[in-house]
């Protein structure tokens, strides 16, 4: 019996000790058994994975039923094929999404199920869009902490264990009132004052830590305000830049809840999705950092109104400032410095303000006033 116990103890030590002698990545026993692959710095070689034209990446998108997830899936499926891009969420997809390509239920807080999905589908890229955004997060900090931080930890561990390239978006909300605002560089003080912003700074730092310690191929872009005609505004601080188009066409009147001179960085959704694909495809050796600012344009409500009125001269605008949203906007960058993204992997936006105006009005159904104005 003593001999058997000694052999058993030695076997356990062998299984739990990485070949390089580095400290293993630890998880609770309920999530990872002692036989699970231990993540060590010796796994770093997977970040150089490349794909031939016939061997496309297999992509999983978490939180995929949001505007960005569905849009990115469409873009990736055109390039890599429908079966190679799997959307996932905890909600039931609308019928048109179900018909468009593979969809699977995935709860990022369920570590075992998430790991099975990655393994069974041989996932090689994971785009992690699951998150509670700022307004919802402030209303339920506990849930936001669970989803945005605990869920992220599950994603990080699974991707590190199985050699999956990971993309996690960040946001202008990752900066705070003590950050430089015009321009805001990639590296500076970040002291956000929302749980959403705090969780995004946490994601940036944890992703970079896993990259340096375990070789995780982590990639992150800080998105500016994203403008799209395909979804209704959700009450966010930058959503005025979407609301104005709907109100201008439907009512000829727009009430802006920010001051006329509030400058914020913005981007049309097509540029945002293309930037995400480009940074995912960029060779690892071209990336001098793991978290990049990206930008396209920066404007104020007054500048946007002036451009819209070129299409609809009769548009009436009222400024009814919301002090809460204004305080948030005043703590965010006025302009992103994205020179590193442009230098390292060739980022270049397509849409400036005039192109944005034309595109938005071409998508949103115009009424007779817009037709007459044109």
Alpha helices, DSSP H, located in the chain? 2-16, 67-80, 95-100, 111-120, 134-139, 141-145, 151-162, 195-214, 240-250, 269-281, 301-311, 323-331, 339-345, 353-363, 368-373
For 250-276, what is the mean pLDDT?
96
pLDDT at 134: 78
Percent of the chain with pLDDT over 70: 82
pLDDT at 213: 97
What is the residue whose two structure tokens read 């468009």?
100
- Give the pair of three-digit tokens for residue 128: 């992690």
Q: How many CB atoms lie within 10 A of CB 155?
A: 25
pLDDT at 19: 35
In the three-class reduction of DSSP (H, G, I as helix; E, B as strand; rest coil), residue 96 is classed as helix
For 53-57, what is the mean pLDDT?
73
CA 294/CA 92 separation, integer angstroms: 32
pLDDT tops 80 at residue 103 = yes
For 316-338, what is the mean pLDDT?
93
pLDDT tops 90 at residue 366 = no
Nearest to 274 by CA among 216, 221, 237, 229: 221
Distances, alpha carbon 370 to alpha carbons 228, 233, 239, 246, 360, in Å? 19, 21, 22, 12, 12
Band (pLDDT 50/70/90 cuts) for residue 324 is confident
pLDDT tops 80 at residue 86 = yes
Cβ-contact 129, 169 below 8 angstroms: yes
pLDDT at 41: 43
pLDDT tops 90 at residue 26 = no
pLDDT tops 80 at residue 13 = no
Element (H, E) at 266: strand 264-268
Please report, to the nearest 10 degrees, the dihedral formed by the alpha carbons of residues 230, 231, 232, 235 taken in order. Answer: -130
pLDDT at 53: 41
CA 76/CA 63 separation, integer angstroms: 16
User: Mean pLDDT across the chain, nearest whole number?
Assistant: 86
- Residues with Cβ within 8 Å of 48's Cβ and at least 6 positions away in sequence, in order, are 284
Percent of the chain with pLDDT over 90: 74
Tell me the helix, strand and coil percentages in the chain, rounded to 5. 50, 15, 40
Cβ-contact 195, 145 below 8 angstroms: yes
Band (pLDDT 50/70/90 cuts) for residue 214 is very high
**Strands of 297-299's sheet in order across:** 225-227, 264-268, 297-299
pTM for the structure as a whole: 0.83
Active site residue 129: no
- Residues with Cβ within 8 Å of 35's Cβ and at least 6 positions away in sequence, in order, are 15
For 99-127, what is the mean pLDDT?
97
pLDDT at 7: 40
- Residues with Cβ within 8 Å of 334's Cβ and at least 6 positions away in sequence, in order, are 181, 182, 183, 184, 263, 264, 265, 298
For 199-215, what is the mean pLDDT?
98
Distances, alpha carbon 85 to alpha carbons 49, 61, 302, in Å? 18, 8, 41
Cβ-contact 353, 267 below 8 angstroms: no
Distances, alpha carbon 142 to alpha carbons 8, 89, 109, in Å? 42, 20, 13
pLDDT at 257: 93
Band (pLDDT 50/70/90 cuts) for residue 287 is very high
Nearest to 135 by CA among 103, 168, 173: 173
Determine which one of 111, 129, 196, 223 is catalytic.
196
Q: What is the CATH architecture of 131-228+266-296+335-350?
A: 3-Layer(aba) Sandwich (3.40)
For 41-49, what is the mean pLDDT?
41
Cross-strand partners of 316: 253
- Phi/psi at 307 (5° precision): -70, -40
CA 314/CA 125 separation, integer angstroms: 48
């Amino acid at each position: 019996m003593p001999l058997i116990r000694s052999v058993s103890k030695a076997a356990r030590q062998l299984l739990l000790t990485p070949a390089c002698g580095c400290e293993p990545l630890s998880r609770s026993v309920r999530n990872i058994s002692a036989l699970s692959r231990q993540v060590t710095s010796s796994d770093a070689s997977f970040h150089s994975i490349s794909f031939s034209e016939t061997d496309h990446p297999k992509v999983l998108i978490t939180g995929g039923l949001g505007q960005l997830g569905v849009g990115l899936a469409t873009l990736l499926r055109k390039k890599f094929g429908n079966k190679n891009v799997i959307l996932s969420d905890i909600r039931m997809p609308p019928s048109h999404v179900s018909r468009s390509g593979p969809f699977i239920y995935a709860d990022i807080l369920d570590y075992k199920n998430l790991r099975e999905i990655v393994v069974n589908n041989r996932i090689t890229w994971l785009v992690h869009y699951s998150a509670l955004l700022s307004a919802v997060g402030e209303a339920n900090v506990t849930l936001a902490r669970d989803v945005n931080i605990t869920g992220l930890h599950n994603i990080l561990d699974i991707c590190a264990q199985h050699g999956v390239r990971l993309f996690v978006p960040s946001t202008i909300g990752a900066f705070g009132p003590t950050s430089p605002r015009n321009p805001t560089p990639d590296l500076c003080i970040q002291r956000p004052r929302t749980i959403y912003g705090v969780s995004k700074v946490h994601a940036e730092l944890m992703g970079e830590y896993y990259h340096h310690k375990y070789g995780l191929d982590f990639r992150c872009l800080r998105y500016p305000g994203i403008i799209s005609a395909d979804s209704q505004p959700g009450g966010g601080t930058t959503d005025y830049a979407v609301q104005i188009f709907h109100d201008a066409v439907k009512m000829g009147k727009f009430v802006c809840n920010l001051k006329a001179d509030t400058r914020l960085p913005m981007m049309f959704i097509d540029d945002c999705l293309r930037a995400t694909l480009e940074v995912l495809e960029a060779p690892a050796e071209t990336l001098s950092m793991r978290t990049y600012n990206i930008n396209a344009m920066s404007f104020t409500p007054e500048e946007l109104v002036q451009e819209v009125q070129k299409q609809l001269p009769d548009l009436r605008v009222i400024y009814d400032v919301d002090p809460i949203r204004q305080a948030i906007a005043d703590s965010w960058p006025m302009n992103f410095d994205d020179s590193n993204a442009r230098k390292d992997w060739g980022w270049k936006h397509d849409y400036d303000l005039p192109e944005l105006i034309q595109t938005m009005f071409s998508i949103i159904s115009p009424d007779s006033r817009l037709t007459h104005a044109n």
